[in-house]
C-alpha cells in the first residue's frame, strides 16, 4: 500500500472545500453569538459568588480555579471570534465585544487580532508564520540554556503567552502593546493604542479592586484562574499545530501556499470541554475559513471531510477529560526543536544533546 505523503500538493483546491460546505454554515447570527457571551459571563459570575460564599471550605478553591480558568479560556475564544469577524457582520459589535472580553483577561484585543490574522494568512510558513513558529537550526543554536529550558521543558511553555504578547517568539521582535511595533502597519497604530489603553484600564481596575478586597483574595479569585487560562491557551494552540503522530511539514518559498499551510493544522477532541470552549478543537476548517462561526464548525468539517480525504487527520476520541493529549504535548515539546536552515519542505528535528540522548 502506497504511503501517504502529507507534504504532497493536494489534488483539490480551496474552492472545492468551500463548495462542499453548506451555505448556512457561513451565516453569522449576532444574537446567537451574544447568547454564548451571556452564558459564559453568567457562569463566571456564579463561580465567583460560589467561591466567595464557600471561601472557608478547603475544597472550593481548587475546583474554582480549574473551572474559572476554563471559563476565562472560553471567553477568550469568543473574543477570538470577534477578531476573525465570525462573531457577527458588524465591525463595531465585533470590536466592542472583543475589547470587553479580551480586556477582562488581559489580552490586547487589536494587537492580538492583527498578529493572529498574520498567523492565519501565513500558517505553515517557516519564516512568516506568527504563532508557535519553528526555529531554524541557526536561530536555535543562538539560544542560551535558560531560554531552551523555558521553551522546551514542560510545563514552562504552558506559561509562554504573556511573554509572547510583550516580546513575541525567539527570532522575532516587537510587542502587541506598542503601536509602532513591526507587527503593525502605520494605519493600524490607532487600533493598537486603543487596545493597550483598555488593557491598562483593566490593570488599573484590578489594582483598585485589590485595595478593596485585599491582594490575597484577588489573587485567588482572578490571579490563579488567569494562569489556568494561560495554560489552556498554550496547550490548545500548540496542539493544533504540533504533536501529531506523524510529523507534518513546514514550507518555504514556492512550496508554501495558503491551502498547503492550512492543511497541516490538526483537529483535537477535548472531551467534555468541546462545548465549553466553543468547539475550537475543530481547527482545520477554522484555519482555512476563519469567517465560519464556531457553532457551524462541526457541520462544516463533516461536509468537507470527503474532499479533504487523507489530508484530514481524524482526531483521537477523548474521554471526558482529554488526558491523552498530555502525551502528545510532552512528546512534541521534547522532540520538535528546530527545522533546517535550507529546503522548501522541512520537518522538525531533535537536539539529542539537549535531551541527554546519544545519536547512534
Backbone phi and psi for residue 102, each to the nearest 5 degrees, phi listed first: -75, -35
pLDDT value of position 1 = 46
- Check if the beta carbon of residue 251 is closer than 8 Å to that of residue 261: yes
Going from N- to C-terminal start, the domains of the chain cover 28-355
C-alpha cell at 206: 484590578
The torsion of the CA quartet 338, 340, 346, 347, rounded to 10 degrees, works out to: -30
Q: pTM value?
A: 0.95
309: which DSSP letter?
G
DSSP 8-state class, residue 349: B
Reduced to 3 states (helix: H, G, I; strand: E, B; else coil), residue 204 is: helix
Where is 59: in which H helix or E strand? none
Q: Hey, CA dihedral for 260, 84, 99, 92, is it positive or negative? A: positive
Q: Which residues of 312-330 are buried (b: 16+ CB within 10 A; e: fewer)?
A: bbebeebeeebeebeebbe
Q: Residue 359 has what pLDDT? A: 53
Residues lower than pLDDT 50 in the chain: 1
Query: In this structure, what C-alpha cell is assigned to residue 39?
Result: 452564558
Peptide bond into 155 cis (omega under 30): yes
What pLDDT does 89 receive? 97
Residues 248, 348: Cα–Cα separation, whole Å: 8
pLDDT of residue 2: 60
pLDDT value at position 357? 67
pLDDT at 131: 84
Q: Which residues pair with 136 in a beta bridge?
A: 339
Beta strands, E only, the chain = 250-251, 345-346
Per-residue confidence (pLDDT) for residue 147, from 0 to 100: 84
pLDDT score, position 136 = 93
Q: What is the pLDDT of residues 260-274, one digit of tens each?
A: 999 999 999 999 999
Cell readout for 295 is: 457553532
CA gap 229, 75 in Å, rounded = 10
Q: Tell me 197's DSSP state.
A: H
Amino acid at each position: 500500500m502506497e504511503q501517504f505523503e502529507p507534504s504532497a500538493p493536494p489534488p483539490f483546491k480551496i474552492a472545492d472545500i468551500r463548495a462542499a460546505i453548506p451555505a448556512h454554515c457561513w451565516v453569522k447570527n449576532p444574537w446567537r453569538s451574544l447568547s454564548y457571551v451571556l452564558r459564559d459571563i453568567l457562569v463566571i459570575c456564579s463561580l465567583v459568588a460560589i467561591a466567595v460564599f464557600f471561601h472557608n471550605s478547603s475544597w472550593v478553591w481548587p475546583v474554582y480555579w480549574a473551572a474559572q480558568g476554563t471559563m476565562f479560556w472560553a471567553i477568550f475564544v469568543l473574543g477570538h471570534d470577534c477578531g476573525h469577524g465570525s462573531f457577527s457582520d458588524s465591525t463595531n459589535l465585533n470590536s466592542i465585544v472583543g475589547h470587553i472580553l479580551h480586556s477582562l483577561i488581559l489580552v490586547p484585543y487589536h494587537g492580538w487580532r492583527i498578529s493572529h490574522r498574520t498567523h492565519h494568512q501565513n500558517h505553515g510558513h517557516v519564516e512568516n508564520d506568527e504563532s508557535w513558529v519553528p526555529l531554524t537550526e541557526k536561530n536555535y543554536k543562538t539560544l542560551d540554556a535558560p531560554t531552551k529550558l523555558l521553551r522546551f521543558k514542560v510545563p514552562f511553555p504552558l506559561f509562554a503567552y504573556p511573554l509572547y504578547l510583550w516580546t513575541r517568539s525567539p527570532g522575532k521582535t516587537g510587542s502587541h502593546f506598542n503601536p509602532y511595533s513591526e507587527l503593525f502597519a502605520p494605519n493600524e497604530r490607532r487600533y493598537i493604542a486603543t487596545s493597550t489603553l483598555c488593557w491598562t484600564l483593566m490593570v488599573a481596575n484590578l489594582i483598585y479592586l485589590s485595595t478593596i478586597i485585599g491582594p490575597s483574595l484577588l489573587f485567588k479569585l482572578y490571579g490563579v484562574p488567569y494562569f489556568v487560562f494561560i495554560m489552556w491557551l498554550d496547550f490548545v494552540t500548540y496542539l493544533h499545530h504540533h504533536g501529531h503522530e506523524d510529523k507534518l511539514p513546514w514550507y518555504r518559498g514556492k512550496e508554501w501556499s495558503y491551502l498547503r499551510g492550512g492543511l497541516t493544522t490538526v483537529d483535537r477532541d477535548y472531551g467534555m470541554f468541546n462545548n465549553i470552549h466553543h468547539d475550537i478543537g475543530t481547527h482545520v476548517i477554522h484555519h482555512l475559513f476563519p469567517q465560519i462561526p464556531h457553532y457551524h464548525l462541526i457541520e462544516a468539517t463533516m461536509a468537507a471531510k470527503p474532499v479533504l480525504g487523507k489530508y484530514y487527520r481524524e482526531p483521537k476520541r477523548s474521554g471526558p477529560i482529554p488526558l491523552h493529549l498530555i502525551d502528545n504535548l510532552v512528546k512534541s515539546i521534547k522532540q520538535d526543536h528546530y527545522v533546517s536552515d535550507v529546503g522548501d519542505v522541512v520537518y522538525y528535528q531533535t537536539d539529542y544533546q539537549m535531551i541527554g540522548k546519544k545519536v547512534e
